[in-house]
Structure 1
Amino acid sequence: MKERERQMEITLGHTPDADDAFMFYGFARGRVGSDKFKIKHVIQDIETLNKRALAHELDVTAVSAHAYAYLKDYVILRGGGSFGQRYGPVVIAKKDSGLTLETLTDAQIAIPGKMTSANLLLKLAIGRKFKEIEMSFETIPRAVLAGEVDAGLVIHEAQITYDKAKFAALLELGQWWDSQTAGLPVPLGINVASSRTMDPTQLKEFSDLFVQSINYGLENIDASVDYAMQYSRGQPKDTIKKFILMYVNEITLDMGQDGRRAIEKMFSMAKEQKILEFDVDVKVV
């Protein structure tokens, strides 16, 4: 009883996406745990988690790397980051739209959230003149096809599942980022923990525990993918597995210097282009 009383309850936010589910499989199925923490899972879309982190409502949460610029009293966990390797969000338009990369700057573009890293990368690539139309990420391809917007910024598994017979890829942001940064990984999602509710020892202990959960998923891929299929949004297992392994890999276990440099580079580019008006101190546990 005394051991249980010493447990700290952690509100842990993550998205209803296959890669997040894969990473948290060890926690969710009780394969990884600690007598020091009692975990309460909070599952919401990434932009909602970004906003909840701004309000400091969660102890640990997945957020867009972009959102970190606006957070107070959160530090980045070394594990759990989603980084692309020459791949990432894609801007799509109908094949017969007549849009080109050059005319995107004046287009109406559906985005999956203002604080998403995808939105910041798009602004870095083409500037801020385009008209952003914020909508749920899963509705973007349909909105483009229906002509409700000129183009759409697709994330998650839609990066690899959009119908190439109907859509043209006007801008591959992963390739653009690679060309601008001499090969740094594309910073998309990270996990942050509250330095307001957790002391340095707890932050380090939870960070290590989270890495154990990710590693458990990688060591038990079939079972972890099966668990993640509840968030497949109708996609077949082989597609979900491909998507998961694009974003859960060695850099997910530990972002290291390259991951940190990538986040710092994104923020420095944003300040140079006056998208951000301040420096961002990137703190990693």
Structure 2
Amino acid sequence: MKIAFSPCPNDTFVFHAWVHGLIAGAPELDVQYADIDITNRLAASGQGPEVLKISYAALPWVLSDYALLPCGGALGRGCGPLVLTRSSITDTRDPSVLAGRRIAVPSDRSTAYMLFRLWAAQNVPGGVGEIVVMPFHEIMPAVRDGLIDAGLVIHEARFTYPAYGLTLLADMGNWWEADTGLPIPLGAIIAHRSMDLDALTKWTRASVDYAWAHPEASQHYILQHAQEMDADVAKQHIQLYVNHFTANLGEEGYDAITSLLGRAANEGLVPAFDFAKLRA
């Protein structure tokens, strides 16, 4: 069975057991490791693999073909995307400095981008300037080198950005949580509606459970695929993004997803879709 997910530690931690044939009855996986922007577009193309990890923000484009699995993904608190600048632009946290600026983002269909657009609508008078999509691991060097005025970063960048001499302008997670009281829906596991969704949910949850029961087993696999990351940062990454929502979205998880996509729909950031399909 074909599957696509990122090489980031939370995904390799979650799927290690299944990828290595440790889940009884689960089919062998043919894995494509890909950045979130690639998996978002694979799903939207209609030519993607049977199972993918995509951004929750991309769900409205794919729910006719793919179903959301209630496990395996990433929601959480204190793990939001960050807006970073060079200190030469600002040594304060005044969002108005972004007016008319070139901003790099990891995807224009990511939760990070959706949160940024919702935040900027409230906080950047006149709006930002050009949006440039680039792989997330290229964003901080581009900001550091002055190729981009500011960057919206995800994943382990929240731990490593000081090494690039960058300044934190705003934390999208802090803003979202203060505004809604809900966790941030980041990455979703989806499966083609032609598949046995109950079985896929069972195997995914079993892989999560194995990862928690045997955390040392996946370390080599995680570090093999991690980008510019040492073992301590990889561990922090997993602790931040793998939590009880990974095992089961629950009502709070579904509330967070509905709130985010509902606001985005009201702002015209996503196409209209049937919210009932989030659970079916």
Scaled by the length of structure 1, what TM-score is found?
0.89
| 2:105 equivalent to 1:111 | yes
Distance 1:274 1:239, change over 3 A: same
8 A contact 1:84–1:174 mirrored in 2: no
Aligned counterpart, 1:6: none
Cα offset, 1:265, TM superposition: 0.5
The yes-or-no answer on 1:213 pairing with 2:207 is yes
Q: Show the counterpart of 1:253.
A: 247
- Give the Cα–Cα distance (whole angstroms) in 1 for the partners of residues 77 and 55 of structure 2: 17
In 2, distance between residues paired with 1:193 and 1:255?
16
Instruction: Determine the structure 2 residue equivalent to 1:95.
Output: 87
Query: Contact conserved, 2:76 with 2:243, CA < 8 A, in 1?
Result: no
2:86 partner letter: K
Match among 169, 187, 191 for residue 193 of structure 1: 191
Structure 1 residue 82 corresponds to structure 2 residue 74: yes
Structure 2 counterpart of 1:5: none
Aligned counterpart, 2:124: none
User: Is 1:43 aligned to residue 33 of structure 2?
Assistant: yes
1:264 aligns to 2:254 (yes or no): no
Tell me the TM-score normalised to structure 2 length.
Answer: 0.91
SS in 2 for 1:24: helix
Contact between 2:76 and 2:245, CA under 8 Å: does it hold in 1? no
The answer to whether the 8 Å contact 1:60/1:191 transfers is yes
**Following the alignment from structure 1 to structure 2, what is the Cα–Cα distance between the partners of residues 70 and 165?**
35
Q: What SS does the aligned partner of 2:162 have?
A: coil
Aligned positions, number: 270
Comparing 90-99 and 156-165, the one that deviates more: 156-165
Task: Give the match for residue 3 of structure 1.
Answer: none
Match of 1:145 in 2: 144
Contact 2:102 2:128 in 1 (8 A): no
Identity of aligned residues (%): 28
Provide Cα deviations, 1:1-52, integer angstroms capped at 9, x if missing partner.
xxxxxxxxx21111111111111111122111416x3432222111111111
Q: Distance in 2 between matches of 1:203 and 1:79?
A: 11
What is the match of residue 66 of structure 1? 57
Look up the SS of the partner of 1:106 in the other structure.
coil
Report deviation, 1:58.
Answer: 1.3
Change (3 A) 1:235 1:39: closer
C-alpha separation between the residues in 2 aligned to 1:64 and 1:216? 24
Change (3 A) 1:277 1:234: closer
Which runs of 5 or more structure 1 residues have no equivalent in the other structure?
A: 1-9
- SS at 2:185's partner residue? strand
Report how far residue 232 of structure 1 moved: 2.5
Question: Cα distance, 1:279 vs. partner?
Answer: 4.0
In structure 2, the gaps of 5 or more residues are 122-126
Q: 1:225 touches 1:241 (CA, 8 Å); kept in 2?
A: no
Shift of 1:249: 1.3
